[in-house]
Amino acid sequence: MGRTLIEKILLSHTEKKRLENFVYAKVDFCFGNDITAPLAVKIFKEAKFNSVFNPKKIAFVCDHFLPAKDIKSASNARMLKEFAKRFKVNFYDINKGGIEHVFLVEQGFIKPGNLIIGADSHTCTLGALGCAAFGVGSTDLAACMYEGRIWLKVPGTIKFIYKGKRNRWVKAKDLVLYTIGKIGVDGALYKVMEFHDKMVNKLSVEERFTICNMAVEAGAKTGIFEPDKKTLKYLEKFKKIKVNIEKLKSEKNAQYKD
């Protein structure tokens, strides 16, 4: 039996030779924002963790309340800044960051085949680059910052293929809204939405971001595109990377869900 792309990525991040129903997988990068990360820091302290697994693979991005809208928002930002200083993790405050799902790519933290954990429901956006990108809660982020691993159930995959030629004003958001309208807001519950672009007028990488960003709105665990030369060209604008994308494809006899 063949494996889907998400199954191949998850298996490659474990010490197992066979994929089981649940995995305890090594994480390549994890992040939180100024809403979710403060709670993760609080939980981290309550658990009496005294180290992080790798400060270079953790980031806090303040992108919701800039400038801080009230005293609580300012206090949360200060909490993140102090934690980042103590543990030397990446911290992006006002005038230093951007929208986390775009900014972290531009900083060179993300590449195809990665396992990414983010304390934000739209972490699935990064699946556009061929990553296994999962949104989690603050508790999981706290544990991940310490352990460098995530425990999760392996999701099934639903395959979506876009064909034909788009009319002039049909954009990526139209495609994904139409798709969600067809399957419903729970139509991909805890599944991976694996997207394939076989259209005449191909999607740009930015449009792939738009589509994957919306996967969670169908209840999906994440969305994903198989990486290609277009993916690599996009990423090389920010950082030189070496990755064998030929292996980052679902196998022909992979099993998909209806």
Would you state the pLDDT for residue 69? 86
pLDDT in tens, 166-198: 998 999 999 999 999 999 999 999 999 999 999
Decide if 170 is inside a domain: yes
Task: Report pTM.
Answer: 0.95
Are 99 and 217 in a shared domain?
no
Are 114 and 97 in a shared domain?
yes
Q: Which of 153, 180, 200 is the last residue before a domain boundary?
A: 153
Are 148 and 162 in a shared domain?
no
Are 56 and 137 in a shared domain?
yes
Decide if 251 is inside a domain: no
Would you state the pLDDT for residue 24? 97
pLDDT in tens, 97-130: 889 999 999 999 999 999 999 999 999 999 999 9
Q: Report the CATH number at residue 18.
A: 3.30.499.10
Are 88 and 182 in a shared domain?
no
C-alpha span between 49 and 29 (Å, rounded): 19
3-state secondary structure of 223: strand
Dihedral class, residue 164 (left if φ above 0, else alpha if ψ from -120 to 50, else beta) = left
Would you state the pLDDT for residue 68? 78
3-state secondary structure of 64: coil
Q: Which of 203, 241, 209 is nearest to 224 (CA)?
A: 209
- Residue 96 one-letter amino acid: K
Are 66 and 177 in a shared domain?
no
Q: Which of 153, 175, 190 is the last residue before a domain boundary?
A: 153
Are 181 and 202 in a shared domain?
yes
Are 39 and 93 in a shared domain?
yes
Pairing of strands 115-118, 29-33: parallel
Are 30 and 76 in a shared domain?
yes
Pairing of strands 149-153, 22-26: antiparallel
Are 129 and 61 in a shared domain?
yes
Which two tokens mark 149?
């691993």
Please provide the average confidence, as pLDDT, over all residues in the chain.
95
Q: Report the CATH number at residue 180.
A: 3.40.1060.10
Q: Which of 138, 153, 168 is the last residue before a domain boundary?
A: 153
Which residue ranges of the chain lie beneath pLDDT 70?
none
Pairing of strands 149-153, 132-135: unpaired
The CA distances from residue 210 to 3, 75, 177, 205, 216, in Å, are: 26, 32, 10, 9, 12
Decide if 248 is inside a domain: no
Decide if 90 is inside a domain: yes
Decide if 74 is inside a domain: yes
- Residues 185 and 219: beta-carbon distance below 8 Å: yes
Decide if 247 is inside a domain: no
Boundaries of domain holding 194: 156-237
Are 17 and 136 in a shared domain?
yes
Domains held by the chain: number = 2
Decide if 249 is inside a domain: no
Decide if 254 is inside a domain: no
Are 11 and 108 in a shared domain?
yes
Got the DSSP string for 136-201?
A: --HHHHHHHHHHSEEEEEPPEEEEEEEEE---TT--HHHHHHHHHHHH-TTTTTTEEEEEEEEESS
